[in-house]
Every structure is written in C-alpha cells, then in structure tokens.
Amino acid sequence: MNTVYSHRLCRQQDRNKNPSATLKSEAPTALSQSPPTATSRFVRACLRLPTDRTPVWFLRQAGRYMPEYMAVRKHHSLLEICRTPDIAAEVTITAAERLGVDAAIIFADLLLPFTPMGLDFEFINGEGPVVHQPIRTLEQIQSLRTDRTEDLLYVSHAIEKVVKHFSSPREDGDQLGIIGFVGAPFTLASYMIEGASSRNYIETKKLMYASAVPTDLSSRPEAAPFAAAVERSASGIATNLSSAWPLLMSKLVEVLTAYAAQQVAAGADVIQVFDSWAGALSVSDYRQYCLAPTTELIARIKALGVPVIYFGVDTASLLPTFRETTADVLGLDWRIPLDEGWRAAGPGCAIQGNLDPITLFAPPAVLESRVKEILTLAANRPGHIFNLGHGIVPNTPVEAVIEVVRLVKQSNSKTPG
C-alpha cells in the first residue's frame, strides 16, 4: 500500500484559502498521485500501514451511557440532535475528548436517508425506530426519491465543525481520525420493509426471494442487475415483485453514495458501512441478493478517496464473502476470536474489533485480561483497530471505557515505518 488518503487536510487547506467554497462545489475524487503520508494512526491502520501503537475507538462511543449525552437528551430528541449540526458536533467532540480515543465518529443515525427518500420514521421509546408505512410493493419502491440527498447536508455541516475542532494535531503528534458512516443496502432495506427491527426478517426475505434477477460476480457486473431493474421500471416493463428488490437496492446505492460523498467533502477521513443485520442471511442469500449492491456501494465510496470499514453483527460465516466487497477494513463482532476472524477475512484487509461490549461491566482484572487477549491475537500486525464487537450499551460505566483506552495505549508500542 503506497497511497495514503489525506483529503481532509487538503480540503481544509483549500477552504482556508477560499472561505466561500461550499460542500456542493467540492467533489472529491480518487487520488491520482501519492499525497503526503497520513498523520492519523487510525487512517494508517485502515490502510494496513505501520503505526506507533494500535488505534482505538468505540462503536456508539457517544451515547446513553454518558452523562454528558443524557444531559443533552433532556432537551432534545435523538433526531433533533442528528439534524442540528452544532449539537451533533458537540456530542461527537465531547465523547472523543472524554474517552481519549483515536477517532471520532459523527453522531447521526443510519435511517436519516429515509426522509429525503419520502419514507417517514420516528423513534419510539422501548421500540427503537419505527417506519409507519413499510415498503412492501413495487409501486412503493418506484415512488422512493433519489434526488433529494441535499436534504442530508446537516450531517456534513456537523462533520465540518468536528473537523475544525480537531484540525490541530494532538499532544502526541497524531491527527484524530474523523469517521462518517452510512447503512448498508440490506440493513436499510430491512428497516424499510419490516417497519422496525426484526427477529426473522420474513417480509424482507419474501421480497428478496421474489426477485428474478440472479447475481453473478464472476466478471464484476455488480451494478448491472440493478441498473437493468431501474430501466425496466422506467419503461413500464416492471409490473411485479420480481424487479422490486433489485430496484430497491439500486435506489439505496444511489442515495448512499451521494450521502457518503457529502461526508467526505466535509472532511471525513473514513466511511464506515454498517450492515447491522447481515448476520440474518445465509451465505447463499447474501451472495445472491446483497453482495453485488454492497460491493457497488463500497467501490463508489472508495472512489471518493477514503478507506471503507464494513461491519456486521453475527457474521463470522460471512467473513470470506465480505472480503469480496473489497472493503479496506472488516469489523468483527465478539463471537469469533480475532485471529480466526482475520484468517477468514484473508490477509488483504485490516480488522476492527472485537471486545464483547458487556465485558465493560466485568471486574477490572477480567476486563484487562480480555483486552490483552485481543491485542495478543492481533500480534502487532499492521491493520488492527481496537474496538468493540458491537456498540456500547446503556448504563455501561464510563470509567471502564476509559480504562480500555488506557490499556490499549499502554499494552503495545510499535515502530512506525
């Protein structure tokens, strides 16, 4: 790997020279030349480059376990925080600084793209996100909008504020990494179709199985089935559910690509693609119905000039197939030992994970043992990012999270190349 992505520094310098530049005018493209070496150990690890130590951050590091976040929630709903750049940036910054992590992930929600697509949702206490009119028909999918992604620019404005706050290197000389994110096509489709989180994904799989479009990646025609579905729909040929799934995948890829591009233009160093519910799929189903659109989305994001992290839960059996998406980093949940997960993913990608988030409730000696076990299994190989195997849960002791950061920082030291 001899190309390091450093768009955030370049774009920040451009904005300093030209304050009138806007997100809309900034169109990041893949690098054509090797830029200066990345100063972020997090970004270097994403690219499997040597680092001085293992970088660490946490899924849901800004959340309900933090008193500072709960103080904000007393006055604002989750969606109000997401849609108000000043508050979203404040929550993001507070968590990163309180914990002392190496990367800050923007505070947002996977389902935000639903609204500009014409699908309303809300969060209900005790139930999570609820879509009141789930997508179940071809006509509903045909009516989903793909031309209103500028309605999501509030997320990019929040990222810009976070980038500005962390623009100077930290005391150790490291540049804090900034992470943007999007949901994966399958996970977002499952919310659209089920109307909420689900145990069995019956309606989602029914729509998948109704698809008459096979997926064959032997010659990398990832987008072909989905583009064909759009063409049939526009010409009036698509009249039944056989075209519904590929059309939905195509629309999601289009919207998510534009949304990710906004975040990269705002300064995100890395984009994480969350496929939270991919573990509900067999390997055959994932390959036939989800691999192509996911690969297409990741390829389009990588073309923006940033590394991509791809993460799913309960996906150990899918890791070899996940590798075919060409994501730079694969996230592991806690159910598989890190070294086994890395072998399954193959040597060509970095690995993120994979402490069980409930271990944060364990006695200090147990917590330290589990952290050191993961670091031992990683064996100081370039490309390991320490994280949890899923998000931090409510009521987690903040002190335990901070202790994990301390343990990671003190437990290994490597010489950068």
Confidence of residue 13 (pLDDT cuts 50, 70, 90): very low
pLDDT tens by residue, 205-221: 999 999 865 544 434 44
Over residues 90-101, mean pLDDT: 98
Q: Across residues 170-179, what is the average pLDDT?
A: 95
Q: Is the Cβ–Cβ distance between 386 and 406 less than 8 Å?
A: no
Q: CA-CA distance, 74 to 307, in Å (whole number)?
A: 36
Cβ density class 371-407: b for 16+ within 10 Å, e for less: beebbebbeebbbbbbbbbbbbeeebebebbebbbeb
Q: Predicted confidence band at 241 (pLDDT cuts at 50, 70, 90)?
A: confident
pLDDT at 211: 87
**CA 117, 118, 124, 128 torsion: positive or negative?**
negative
Residue 68's pLDDT band (boundaries 50, 70, 90)? very high
Taking the C-alpha atoms of residue 248 and residue 225, their distance in angstroms, rounded to an integer, is 11
In whole angstroms, give the CA distance from residue 194 to residue 201: 7
**3-class secondary structure for 98-130?**
HHCCCEEECCCCCCHHHCCCCCCEEEECCCEEE
Q: Stretch 192-205: mean pLDDT, rounded?
A: 93
412 has pLDDT over 90: no
- The predicted model gives 138-161 an average pLDDT of 97
C-alpha pair distances (Å), 342 with each of 51, 85, 371: 18, 37, 17
Average pLDDT over residues 182-187: 98
Question: What are 330-387's pLDDT values in tens digits?
Answer: 999 999 999 999 999 998 999 999 999 999 999 999 999 999 999 999 999 999 999 9
Task: Tell whether the model's pLDDT for residue 279 goes beyond 60.
Answer: yes
Amino acid 128: pLDDT: 86
pLDDT tens by residue, 305-321: 999 999 999 999 999 99
Question: What integer best gives the mean pLDDT of the chain?
Answer: 87
Rounded average pLDDT over 274-279? 96
pLDDT in tens, 107-121: 999 999 999 999 999
Query: 37 vs 93, which has greater pLDDT?
Result: 93
11 has pLDDT over 80: no
> 310 - beta bridge partners?
273, 330
Query: What DSSP element (H or E) covers 128?
Result: strand 128-131
